[in-house]
Amino acid sequence: MLDIRLIREKPDVVREALARRKEHAPLDELIRADIRRRELLTQTEGLQAERKRVSKQVPRIKDQAERQQLIEEMRGVGDRIAELNRELVEAEEQVSRLLLEMPNLPDPQVPDGEDDSDNVLVRQSGEPRELDFEAKPHWELGEALGIINFEQGQRISGSRFYVLHGDGSRLQRALASWMLDLHRRQGYQEVTVPYMVRRETLRASAHLPDFENTMYELVGEDFWLIPTSESPLTSLHAGEILSAGDLPRQYTSYSANFRREQISAGRDVRGIKRGHQFDKVEMYHFTLPEDSEAALDRLTAHAEETCHLLGLTWRTVERCTGDLGFKNRRGYDVEVWSPGVREWLEVSSTSNVGDFQARRAQVRFKREAGARTEFAHTLNGTGLGMPRTMIAVLENYQQPDGSVVIPEALRPYMGGQQRMESG
């Protein structure tokens, strides 16, 4: 969340930054609520001081009537304090709620724009690959090879589900294992996180309240299925005070993820590009504030290296203000070219969140003993998303006879197998 002091002291700076995001934010309502909260606090503290002062005088007053009158007056003051306290609690809850609804402020370096069409190309490795035969989309390849079964997925769970068989299941497992090993070599600690988390955990990662309509909640219990392992990773150090020497900390995690996908009619309705359940590997950083910009570059480079080692054509775009996302201050998308669907597929989204999540999760650090506490910065990035990476591998490595060559990096993870073939 944002620092309430920044909102109080520089509201125009905050307003200008929010205007760049092209989305509504309850700034004015928050300012009014904060003013009201401080007024109530001032009144309450003033009456408490008065009651304390008078209470010390009462025993010294000899006149019984005068003493009784002051006692009655203080009872009235006590009733007013109790009423103000109730109003103060309501005001504090309103300020807290509105703060949770305020998006992060974009970094001044972020390009202005309305949506993803205004994202800026940063770099590209290779040109979109054209096969010397008619490229098939992954859903045709998968069904012909017997590795993706859409009918079974729909029978079991409904639309937007599928079942992986044989080499398809092994390919996904190989991708996940290879990526985790790669990220370990890049300096990450591997962790396995719960797939169900509490509301408090999703508030800390800023997925609540803004993304509530896209997540699955278990009826009758305070459990939510994770939309990304970023959520539990944010709370690994919730409430802790680390030392500066503990930072940076870099984690990687493989998990299933669950989201309510709103699919437009006629768009992305075939294949495995969009689904309610999908797997991915996540990268997550806790850093010192002055190091987070360099950490974003490093995080993005790690995602790019993953694409490069798979032999895929990739490009990196910087997200504009209109496509930045609620909790992010700056970020990039890494996309790979897939010739079957003939489009660039986003396989990684990397983001510098600044202290936005750390304030919610209370992840702090001290530079030395006795120093004041500061909030860490957090960053996250996909490293990579399984469905779209599988699409790119299948479509880029397909052969004229319908077989698919396994990328060299993955062969040790598939027992030395070099090709997927039907039958």
Query: Which residues are marked as active site?
Result: 259, 274, 346, 349, 388
The DSSP code sequence of 250-300 is EEEEEEEEE----PPTTSS-STTSS-SEEEEEEEEEEE-GGGHHHHHHHHH
Instruction: List, in order, residues 6 or more apart from 119 with CB less than 8 Å away.
Output: 111, 113, 317, 318, 319, 320, 323, 333
Contact 346, 388 (CB under 8 A): yes
Q: At 308, list the tokens.
A: 């490069």
In degrees and rounded to multiples of 5, residue 250 shows phi and psi of: -125, 125
> Nearest CA to 390 among 338, 343, 344?
338
Rounded to whole angstroms, the Cα distance separating 88 from 195 reads 37
Q: At 203, list the tokens.
A: 């508030």
Check residue 131 and give left, alpha or beta (phi > 0: left; psi -120 to 50: alpha).
Answer: beta
Helices 11-19 and 27-57 pack at an angle, to 10 degrees, of: 150
Rounded to whole angstroms, the Cα distance separating 253 from 277 reads 16
